[in-house]
Amino acid sequence: DADVTQTPRNRITKTGKRIMLECSQTKGHDRMYWYRQDPGLGLRLIYYSFDVKDINKGEISDGYSVSRQAQAKFSLSLESAIPNQTALYFCATSQPDRVIAANTGELFFGEGSRLTVL
Amino acid sequence: AQSVTQLDSQVPVFEEAPVELRCNYSSSVSVYLFWYVQYPNQGLQLLLKYLSGSTLVKGINGFEAEFNKSQTSFHLRKPSVHISDTAEYFCAVRFPWGATNKLIFGTGTLLAVQP
């Protein structure tokens, strides 16, 4: 089984609908992230969470919200989906390097959730 | 501000030929540098990373990258590619310290290995 699991893997919806993408992890990591991937734009950070009580906006948070239900679960919601939110969404986790007390940056990604908004 | 540039959106290459994927970054301070690989229909996985020390970094699947501070580059190389190396490759940069802990990705380079 994958360490970082995303559901659903594929979703087609209509403009104005509410959509939730879910992410769960078995790596025991504190930090979780939601990224969006668009062709030619790479990955852009939507939201990130360092622990259950800590939620932070990334560079493209407008139109999205998140919920950290537990250490292992981090969900992304689109309250009213629009066509330009059609993209591939990735959840990722990380853990800071406690020896050097710095974030050495390795992210562990789920397999992605492809969302199409018509 | 930090930024990452991958000038080549696609690199076609024949099997067993060498390849170099270019990455340049912009930062006024020291950074950590990474290469991630994304195989078709999969998430990204870490290929290699530079934190400090030796400027030549070896990663998985025979890839290596060289950190060049004067040219602010972190190019990825492999002496002989295989069909299975066909994937998209992302360069990324991060500040070692700071509250954001944000990993900034380049736009990606599609490596297309042909028989």
pLDDT digits (tens, 9 = 90+) for A66-91: 999 999 999 999 999 999 999 999 99
Q: Which of A40, A50, A110 sits opposite B43 (nearest CB)?
A: A110
Distance CA B33, CA B57 (A): 10
- The pair of three-digit structure tokens given for residue A27, joined into one six-digit string: 């790596």
Higher pLDDT, B101 or B65: B65
Distance of residue A45 Cα from the nearest chain B Cα, in angstroms: 8
pLDDT at A89: 97
B11-22 tens-digit pLDDT: 999 999 999 999
pLDDT at A103: 54
Average pLDDT over residues B49-72: 92
Identify from B21, B49, B102 which residue to disrupt to test chain A contact, counting A C-beta atoms within 10 A and taking the largest count.
B102
Distance CA A11, CA A8 (A): 7
The CA-based dihedral angle spanning residues A113, B32, B100, A53, taken in that order and rounded to the nearest 10 degrees? 60
Q: Which of B9, B34, B43 sits opposite A90 (nearest CB)?
A: B43
Question: DSSP letter at A83?
Answer: G
C-beta separation of A52 from A40 below 8 A: no
Task: Tell me how many degrees the CA angle B4-A76-B96 measures, rounded to the nearest 5.
Answer: 35
